Structures are given as C-alpha cells and as structure tokens.
C-alpha cells in the first residue's frame, strides 16, 4: 500500500471513527485499482451504516469530498465506498 493510500485511509478513519457506536466492527481498507485510482472501503456494523450515510447521503458525500480534496495535490482519483 502506497503512502498516499495509507494517508487517505487514516483520514477516512479519523472522520468515521467518532461517528460509529461499534468501533470494534469498523474496518477501513484502501487499495489501488488497475486504473491508478485509490479505492477506500468502509465496513461498519449494520446499526452504524445510517450514521455514515447521513440524511440524503450528506455525510458520505462529505467524506468523499474530503478524501478527493486530500488526494487532489497528487492528482490521484479517489473513490470512497460504504460496504454493507
């Protein structure tokens, strides 16, 4: 895993961890795709999924925006997905 991927996973972790009640079920993994972009996958307890999505998807959209802004300096596309 590259340093950029690790940084993005750390950023997403710092944002998501305070939002969930079941921290032991939180799993955030980053990987680099064949196209050269970074995929960050968030896995949470079923009960916490709504907190990560937010009303009308506002929270997950904000997380995606922050991750993309952080990676924009390196000009690397980023995708953040909530895996249920």
**Cα–Cα distances in Å, from 55 out to 6, 15, 25, 61, 62?**
28, 17, 22, 10, 12
pLDDT at 2: 85
Q: Which domains does the chain have, with CATH numbers?
A: 3-83 (3.30.300.20)
pLDDT along the chain (84 residues), means of 10: 90 96 95 93 95 96 96 92 91
pTM: 0.92
DSSP 62: H
């Amino acid at each position: 895993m590259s340093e950029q991927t690790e940084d993005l996973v750390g950023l997403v972790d710092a944002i998501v961890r305070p939002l969930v009640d079941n921290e032991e079920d939180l799993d955030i993994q980053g990987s680099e795709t064949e196209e050269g972009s970074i995929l960050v996958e968030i896995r949470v307890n079923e009960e916490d999924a709504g907190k990560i999505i937010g009303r009308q998807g506002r929270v997950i959209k904000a997380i995606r925006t922050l991750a993309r802004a952080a990676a924009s300096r390196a000009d690397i596309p980023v995708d953040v997905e909530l895996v249920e």
